[in-house]
Amino acid sequence: RLDEAIARYRLAAEAFQRADEDQLRYTVMQAVAGIQLRRWKILQALVELQDGLSTVKNPTFKQKIMRTLLRFRTW
């Protein structure tokens, strides 16, 4: 039922985006990335993390590091 969980997490992420809750949206996208990692979909997990970080207006130090690391990925 991981596909169902991902779909529901994405709905929650959209709701948080509409509510302008960027940190909560990032937390939800981290959960989606975690599910993708459990399924061995590493590239998709990185995309989910990058998507979550793209809307964060005031990133924490950890989020800034993650953004920097995601910029250096190879496609």
CA dihedral sign of residues 2, 5, 6, 7: positive
- Give CA separation, 75 vs 10, 42, 59, 66, in Å: 23, 12, 24, 17
DSSP letter at 57 equals: S
CA dist 9 to 48, 62, 63, Å? 11, 22, 20
Residue of 30, 39, 32 whose CA lies nearest to 10:
32
pLDDT by position in tens, the chain (length 75): 889 999 999 999 999 999 999 999 999 999 999 999 999 998 899 889 888 888 888 888 988 888 888 887 655
Six token digits for residue 17: 């985006």
Residue 73 pLDDT: 63
